[in-house]
Amino acid sequence: DGGITQSPKYLFRKEGQNVTLSCEQNLNHDAMYWYRQDPGQGLRLIYYSQIVNDFQKGDIAEGYSVSREKKESFPLTVTSAQKNPTAFYLCASSIDSQEYSYEQYFGPGTRLTVT
């Protein structure tokens, strides 16, 4: 089955701790993305990567970090510097093209709760 997996589904952390969310895809997509979803605000882009070993900040990158060492993997670390980390986090991937806007495919999400 081709798709995107995110783990864990639910994650609980104490304030001040860093936490890493996993995202893996077997769709052979070059581009991968991390979004944050809060009630009533739609999805906001945190980081994206168009190719291995390269990534760019999105609209709300402060307090987050990523790596892209393999094409199929794009983990997100929520650091203690992120002021409001409790949210639903979604990973996505797509074909990357200079000429065409391809749709993004989403994983099932990780709900992070920080207390």
- CB 33 to another protein: min, Å: 8
- CB 11 to another protein: min, Å: 13
* Among residues 75, 79, 86, 105, the one that binds another protein under rule CB under 8 A: 105
- CB 80 to another protein: min, Å: 26
* Contact between 56 and another protein per CB under 8 A: yes
Residue span binding another protein (CB under 8 A) among the ranges 18-26, 40-48, 63-71, 76-84: 40-48
**Residue 53, exposed/middle/buried by CB under 10 A (0-12, 13-18, 19+)?**
exposed
CB 74 within 8 A of CB 89: no
Measure the CA angle with vertex 111, ends 107 and 112; round to 5°. Answer: 130
In sequence order, the 6+-apart residues with CB closer than 8 A to the CB of 71 are 28, 30, 52
* Among residues 16, 84, 100, 115, the one that binds another protein under rule CB under 8 A: 100
CB 15 within 8 A of CB 114: yes
Q: Which residues of the shown chain bind another protein in the complex (CB under 8 A)?
A: 4, 6, 31, 40-45, 48, 50, 56, 88, 90, 92, 94, 96, 98, 100-109, 111
